[in-house]
Structure 1
Amino acid sequence: MDNQHSVARLRAWLMAIRPQTLPAGASPVIVGVGLAIHDGVFAVGPAVAALLGALFLQIGSNFTNDYYDAIRGADTEDREGFQRVTQSGLISPKRVQGAIYVSFSLAALVGIYLVYIGGVPIIAVGLLSILAGFAYTGGPYPFGYHGLGDLFVFIFFGLVAVTGTYYVQAVSTVATVGPIPISIPAGTVPVAAVVASLPAAALSTNILVVNNIRDLETDRETGKRTLAVKIGYQWSRIEYTALLALSYLVPLVFAVCWQSVFPLTPLLTTPLAWRLWMTIREETTGEALNPALERTGKLLLAFSFLFAFGLATPSLI
């Protein structure tokens, strides 16, 4: 019985971590590494630390969402999404709350090393990322309950994550910059890093779009005013389509600017994107959209690996 109880408890914690969402944490780092390799500023230590920090932030955000959606009554028995451990009673609210603090503390611990490398800019980015992860569903004005969740994901799991990953590698290779720099040294956040961040930002946001389309009716009933609740099914599907289009436009921009076919490698994921789009434009049930949510995460990860490969390869051949 003890072994069965331990296995059940482990499964509950894995459910709370929500592994299907972790590509949103890892993918921006992968893209940032690919561009850093192309520009000759790749650094193993900062890259690994950026990955760990991003994953801890993602896990902490997942615990926060699980806890506060249950406390605020947004998670009900009618919810069609993946089972939530706080609402279902699999893990006590107190333990989930403790896991929130542990996850964000681990992210902050990794951040100490990144602050040594990246200085004051990383302090600002790190604190804002932790605050945003908590404020998504927690605090007096939760972003996710006021239609701002999509913007939060686009910024922090795309723009900030990719450019931040590139920055900590680039700044570590600048010989004239000592530990804990006060400002951002020239050339450590190029325009290319910002542009390269857009597919990760868009596809990470699309994970949330699928989630919110699936939960639109129950969110409306419980007073959770996600962007999908505010704009409805049709405009949410248009949002998903526009973000997909943005993702596939960026490799074309790099291919033209670099006069290279290698940045086009993410186009190999187009069949998966097409199948997902066909599902999103027609379905609203959890039975159809739960697999679509997982596949959107897989699309993000596959796209990011291929994009990183396409960015890095021209400098390696």
Structure 2
Amino acid sequence: MKYYLNNWWLAIRPKTLLASIGPILLGTSLATSETQIHFGIFAAALICAISLQVSVNLANDLFDSLSGVDNEQRLGPIRAVQSGLISASAIKLALALVCAIAVVSGLYLIAMGGYWILLLGILSFLGVFAYSAGPFPLASNALGEVTVLIFFGWVAVLGSFYLQTGTISIIAFGLATSAGLYSCAIMLVNNIRDITTDWRAEKHTLAVVVGNRRARTLLAVLIVGALVVHSVVAMQVSKMLLLTTILLVLPSYQSIKMGFYLQKQSLNQLLTNIAKLGFSYCVSVALIWIVFM
């Protein structure tokens, strides 16, 4: 039983959940300066975001195995279906159950937020399956990073902000962009690590398209870009927000440095580091906003 549960723990890829939790915390915290937080909405948004993230992970595990993208040469974390730890039928059932949780929590959010939230919900569900499945899988056509920016940056932060306030602000958009750029960096590291196997499987990720060297340079641009965008917003709003920039300069530099020399499986550690970096960004901004704004 223990080993079976461990297999499912691997399949849902818990380390990736930071990328869905952080933006909800950020968007909700930004609303505290405009309204009293509705904790029911916050909880539902968190459940919905986590459920959608798990759905993406399960769908990616399933469809990449069925398409042959995942094979014995894979350098990333173990995939449940490809390695035979969990059957494809079991993953399909789990995917349906997790999607059902997302739908239930999403219906509550739609009731509270109206038609705009319905639109975001529809787009989010399309994104779950379009990412790695269908006639034009986004992840296989150099659109993975853009998709991540949209959903883990703008949709997650602005959506949770809108649910609390009923409005959208340019400040929230700027901070959402920084959060999304960190998630883009996570995706790009994943694709840099898998360049060789993805190329063989004819999976045209952004890293495959631009090449290893340019992809690593782009990684540095994304990380620096996240701090630059944040700093520009901070200068317009409150210099207290520059504390986040100061706190993240050193770990950002270390991640960029690692991005230029780590190879193959050692890039898995960089994935973890950047996931923590993005989460730290969201949490630090959220705390500073709640305390000082």
| Category of TM-score, reference length = shorter chain | over 0.9
Q: 1:312 Cα deviation (Å)?
A: 2.3
Cα gap change, 1:264 to 1:299, in 2 (>3 Å): same
Aligned residue for 1:102?
A: 97
Q: 1:217 Cα deviation (Å)?
A: 0.3
**304-313 or 260-269: which moved more?**
260-269
Aligned residue for 2:65?
A: 70
Aligned residue for 2:284?
A: 306
Give the SS at the match of 1:147.
Answer: coil
1:213 pairs, out of 192, 204, 215, with 192
Give the SS at the match of 2:78.
Answer: coil
CA distance in 2, matches of 1:136, 1:223: 16
State the structure with more CA Rg: 1
Gaps of 5+ in 2: none
- Percent sequence identity over matched residues? 34
Contact 1:16 1:85 (C-alpha < 8 Å) held by counterparts: yes
Give the SS at the match of 2:82.
Answer: helix
Aligned residue for 1:289?
A: 267
Contact 2:152 2:179 (C-alpha < 8 Å) held by counterparts: yes
Aligned residue for 2:182?
A: 203
Give the SS at the match of 2:81.
Answer: helix
CA distance in 2, matches of 1:131, 1:258: 35
Gaps of 5+ in 1: 1-5, 172-187
**250-259 or 106-115: which moved more?**
250-259
What letter matches 1:50 in structure 2?
A: A
Q: What are the within-5 Å matches in structure 2 for residues 35-184 of structure 1?
A: 35-171=30-166
Contact 2:24 2:156 (C-alpha < 8 Å) held by counterparts: yes
Answer yes or no: is 1:228 the counterpart of 2:214. no
CA distance in 1, matches of 2:203, 2:244: 39
CA distance in 1, matches of 2:119, 2:262: 41
What letter matches 1:251 in structure 2?
A: H
Aligned residue for 1:3?
A: none
Contact 1:33 1:47 (C-alpha < 8 Å) held by counterparts: yes
Q: TM-score, normalised by structure 1?
A: 0.89
CA distance in 2, matches of 1:135, 1:274: 34
Q: 1:194 Cα deviation (Å)?
A: 0.9
Q: 1:41 Cα deviation (Å)?
A: 4.5
CA distance in 2, matches of 1:263, 1:106: 38
Q: 1:311 Cα deviation (Å)?
A: 2.2
Count of matched residue pairs: 293
What letter matches 2:285 in structure 1?
A: F
Give the SS at the match of 1:22.
Answer: helix
**296-305 or 265-274: which moved more?**
265-274
CA distance in 2, matches of 1:106, 1:276: 35
What letter matches 2:148 in structure 1?
A: V
Contact 2:174 2:230 (C-alpha < 8 Å) held by counterparts: no
Q: 1:255 Cα deviation (Å)?
A: 2.6
2:7 pairs, out of 5, 9, 12, with 12
For each residue in 1:126-178, what CA deviation from the matched residue of structure 2 results, as whole angstroms up to 9, or x when unmatched?
0110111111001121101111111111101111110000000113xxxxxxx
2:226 pairs, out of 247, 253, 259, with 247
What letter matches 2:21 in structure 1?
A: A
CA distance in 2, matches of 1:292, 1:301: 14
Contact 1:38 1:313 (C-alpha < 8 Å) held by counterparts: no
CA distance in 1, matches of 2:217, 2:36: 38
Aligned residue for 1:257?
A: 236
CA distance in 2, matches of 1:262, 1:135: 36
Q: TM-score, normalised by structure 2?
A: 0.97
